Amino acid sequence: MTNSPAADQTGKIVAWYDRHHRDLPWRISPPMAVRGIRPDPYRVWLSEVMLQQTTVQAVKSYFALFTAKWPTVTDLAEAETEDVMKAWAGLGYYARARNLKKCAEAVAFSHGGRFPDTEEGLKALPGIGDYTAAAIAAIAFDRPAAVLDGNVERVISRLHAVDAPLPGSKPLMRALVAKMTPGERPGDFAQAMMDLGATICTPRRPACALCPVNGSCTALASDDPERFPVKAGKKEKPVRLGAAFVAVDETGAVFLRKRPGHGLLGGMTEVPNTDWTARQNGATGADAAPFDAAWHDCGTVVHVFTHFELRLTVFRSRVGRATAAGHVAGPGWWEPEESLAGEALPSVMKKAIAQAIPDAFQPRLRSQAAMQSRG
């Protein structure tokens, strides 16, 4: 890269990264790279998929769990889908988990266990879009790919005071990042931009005095950095209604069933609930229950999805299995309360169960209470 303003900015950002990079469990840091340690494309891919719409702090424990259970992409490909969904439960955006399994199978069984090393090859895999392909290509394979996530958008939009609102300004921002992306150490540059956005060029009260490129930041010189990136006005999220039914048998087991393998929360475990969707309300009364019983209103839980807010009225009933047999709509099973936490329950269903059974996911408290009652 010639000694252009963009090259000068790139050099300063990479030098800052060498000194101030975050230590992350999936990352090969500059000192590690000096020792000859190379990125594992599997770990890069897994972390990038997990990090979509999720914080670094939330991902760390999931990443540790996945890499301990399935150390290689072939291990993940050969895993039971149900086990993968259970391990993913709580991380959200469950289509990612389904695509994760499909992608692992494609790499393991169609590519000999090796990830393609180009953006185009990566984008041909299930669940890998423009951003993820660019990130893997740059970080795992040192390809000069323009990586543009939310943190990078913030840095580049402020550096150039990009007035056009997102998402329409993405192509311009990607072109600006591409101009800065070096042929040497493109992966470190991509991660440097991410770290800069996460730790210095933050959404509120950015630490501009510590920024390595503050001398050439257009927003800092002539505007308010916090105004960038400019975003189109947000539409108010619609509110959808529904009901959830927590049936408990004589042993304390909870009736669960499996959602269809497609659509919202596809393939996940749930308690029976009504036919709400992102576009329509479901029934909200006890008369929509899967079988006749003395259903008690336990209140309402609220869960916010990407495009809508869901409010579920939660009902609970204690019933004998014999009473429920033959009346429950669709196949399902009775899950012992002590193993509920190990099921592939999305957050909204955990909220519903906890609303009906407050200590459902606190087995230690339950066991202590049981011991006290016996004593």
Active site residues: 48
3-state SS, the chain, equals CCCCHHHHHHHHHHHHHHHHCCCCCCCCCHHHHHCCCCCCHHHHHHHHHHHCCCCHHHHHHHHHHHHHHCCCHHHHHHCCHHHHHHHHCCCCCCHHHHHHHHHHHHHHHHCCCCCCCCHHHHHCCCCCCHHHHHHHHHHHHCCCCCCCCHHHHHHHHHHCCCCCCECCCHHHHHHHHHHHCCCCCHHHHHHHHHHHHHHCCCCCCCCHHHCCCHHHCHHHHHCCHHHCCCECCCCCCCEEEEEEEEEECCCCCEEEEECCCCCCCCCCEECCECCCCCCCCCCCCHHHCCCCCCCEEEEEEEEECCCCEEEEEEEEEECCHHHHCCCCCCCCEEECHHHHHHCCCCHHHHHHHHHHCCCCCCHHHHHHHHHHHHC
